[in-house]
Amino acid sequence: MRRCLIILLLLASTAASASAADTESHERILQSARTHILQLLSSDVQSLKVTPGALDSRLRLPRCPQPLETFSTGTRQTGTRQTVGVRCRGATEWTIYVSLKVELSRAILVSNRALTRGSRIAPGDLRLETRVVSGLHSGYLDNPAEAVGRTLKRALRKDAVLTPGQLHPRLDIRRGGQVTIVGRSGSIEVRMAGKAHQDASRGDRVKVTNISSQREIEGIVVARDTVEVAM
pLDDT in tens, 41-72: 876 667 788 888 889 999 999 999 999 999 98
Is this structure's pTM higher than 0.85?
no
pLDDT in tens, 197-221: 999 888 899 999 999 999 999 999 9
> Which domains can be identified in the chain, with CATH numbers?
20-104 (no CATH), 105-166 (3.90.1210.10), 178-230 (2.30.30.760)
Question: Could you tell me whether strands 94-111 and 188-196 are parallel, antiparallel, or unpaired per DSSP bridges?
Answer: unpaired
* Alpha carbon distances (Å) from 130 to 42, 133, 182, 190, 210: 15, 9, 45, 50, 49
Residue 124 in this model has a pLDDT that exceeds 90:
yes
By the 8 A CB rule, do 37 and 100 touch?
Answer: yes
Amino acid occupying residue 129: E
By the 8 A CB rule, do 153 and 182 touch?
Answer: no
Amino acid occupying residue 135: G
By the 8 A CB rule, do 211 and 194 touch?
Answer: yes
